[in-house]
Structure 1
């Protein structure tokens, strides 16, 4: 048994190998499986998992065709009076500690100190399908699309931090130079779902503007930087859809072989890249959700039920 950091590195390598294998087999179509899964959450606390742990559980759930998004530790199951099924296998998740409490030498007060080198640890969780006695899952009703959802799409559009233009052309893109999004006309899409998915993808790109989350944009097609930004946009689009209670089946990222090859190259060179992408994607999704939520609170016109994730401490992805 190695150190916590060694175990984490080994787990990251294994997950990266799964992602590479999926990319080589299905290109970016493999991401579609995430849309059938609700946001992974702890079955005991009801808190959603975040960042690398979130993406890992979504990938594992898709791979194993798990329909229940709840996960708990052995201790949590024991405390609740639930029983882990014989032969059930757990999944290792990461736990990073970035701060510690110390006493102020002058005042004696406890203060929070930021660690130069975060402390690495891990914990293991079991899926609810492997737990006896856990209550049935209360499934969140997905928003079904129809003509009445055009108004809902328009409200999401209004929450954009940059202007969104619809033009009679066949290309969707975000221009970082002029800070606006251009989309084909709604009637040029096969469905309202496809239009919304494309819009969310471009809205994700727009968060990279220097006045917002400040990512490097305008990268050359086929380059590693282009690949990284495209995957972040698509991953965050999926996160946003799940948290809004949407079920969009179409894949909106361009499935070019040049992009696939460049992304595989990036992953092979760095086992940490999928975790970096997950962290950035969650920040993007939280910004998009936050903007929409703020607009909804101001208007208070929409009567449909939208479930937003509980607040969490994004600095420490602690055992829940």
Structure 2
């Protein structure tokens, strides 16, 4: 009986954490701010465009943690994209300044309770894993003193003139049937091809590359790649969820490549809000899937040493 009460409390804690994260994202969207698109390169952003990373391990955060940490950087006017736990700061010879307020990020994984193992063994079934989500606190390296100089150093962005070739190499290495033409950009799941209008029709050349990354994010879901459900019809919740994944994935990919993310489908805002209000785990799942997509796309760029692999536990369970 006690084990059931502990399990119930853990479930309630998990639910409240999902609700807290989702409520914040909904509030941002209702205010007209898109959490995966931040004002990088303006006075509102004091930090360099980058994926947030752990200053001790050098590995980038992923999934919902990227949105949480990007939001904290902008809201608090922080100057860097590197983060540490309190103990990590001490282990590196530094310390968090007195009075500094940390940011709660989440650790997501799955585990199999012992009673479930016993039940499954008794009936000859496979034990069912239970997802768990718990929070821990990190501090920006700008909130710390005494750290080695290289701890807060962010990998340099590709120099001007190299970003576009990186995207074009990514496209070539994707193996996707990538067609240039027409007057609209889209991915056709049944025929497995991407079509994007010619670069000349875009107001800024970099917008063509942003669009290409968005459509390739959709293409990553094909059964021969990451195998997502792409059967949603236009206007459906399933379709809106896939658009959410592609939007966030493109933002993550852009940030890693040195391209300031933008919103491609702002007209889906109402649908995204409906999805989030209906399921308080949707944004966590979408962000987790988006990180998988970004990792996949960035992995197509050879010798991309500026794209270290993320810590697996940062990914939330689907």
Interval containing the TM-score (normalised by the shorter chain): 0.7 to 0.9
Match of residue 129, structure 2, among 116, 119, 127: 116
Please say if 1:270 is aligned against 2:279: yes
Number of residue-to-residue matches in the alignment: 289
Q: How does 1:74-153 map to 2 (within 5 A)?
A: 74-96=86-108, 98=110, 116-118=129-131, 120-136=133-149, 137-146=152-161, 151-153=165-167
More displaced, 19-28 or 135-144?
135-144
Q: For 1:26-52, what per-residue CA distance to the aligned partner results, in whole angstroms no more than 9, with x for missing partners?
A: 264x53217654212112222222333
Cα distance change, pair 55–4 in 1 and its aligned pair in 2 (3 A): farther
- Aligned residue in 2 for 1:163: 177
Q: CA deviation at 1:178?
A: 0.9
For residues 8 and 62 of structure 1, the distance between their equivalents in structure 2, rounded to whole angstroms, comes to 27
2:259 aligns to what SS in structure 1? coil
| Residues 164 and 181, structure 1, Cα contact 8 Å, conserved in 2 | yes
For residues 181 and 212 of structure 1, the distance between their equivalents in structure 2, rounded to whole angstroms, comes to 14
- Aligned residue in 2 for 1:253: 264
Please say if 1:217 is aligned against 2:230: yes
1:277 aligns to what SS in structure 2? helix
2:190 aligns to what SS in structure 1? coil
Q: Which runs of 5+ in 2 are unaligned?
A: 1-7, 41-47, 115-125
For residues 10 and 72 of structure 2, the distance between their equivalents in structure 1, rounded to whole angstroms, comes to 21
TM-score calculated relative to the size of structure 2 = 0.79
For residues 315 and 243 of structure 2, the distance between their equivalents in structure 1, rounded to whole angstroms, comes to 25
- Aligned residue in 2 for 1:175: 188
Q: CA deviation at 1:14?
A: 2.4
- Aligned residue in 1 for 2:242: 229
2:194 aligns to what SS in structure 1? strand
Q: CA deviation at 1:235?
A: 0.8
Q: CA deviation at 1:66?
A: 2.6
Cα distance change, pair 224–40 in 1 and its aligned pair in 2 (3 A): same
- Aligned residue in 2 for 1:31: 36
Q: For 1:224-275, what per-residue CA distance to the aligned partner results, in whole angstroms no more than 9, with x for missing partners?
A: 212211111111112122233x1235x242211xx21221111112221111
Please say if 1:309 is aligned against 2:308: yes
Q: CA deviation at 1:99?
A: 5.6
Q: CA deviation at 1:311?
A: 5.8
For residues 144 and 194 of structure 1, the distance between their equivalents in structure 2, rounded to whole angstroms, comes to 18
TM-score calculated relative to the size of structure 1 = 0.79
Q: For 1:268-308, what per-residue CA distance to the aligned partner results, in whole angstroms no more than 9, with x for missing partners?
A: 12221111011111111111112x23xx35xxxxxxx7502
Cα distance change, pair 11–68 in 1 and its aligned pair in 2 (3 A): farther
- Aligned residue in 2 for 1:15: 21
1:49 aligns to what SS in structure 2? coil
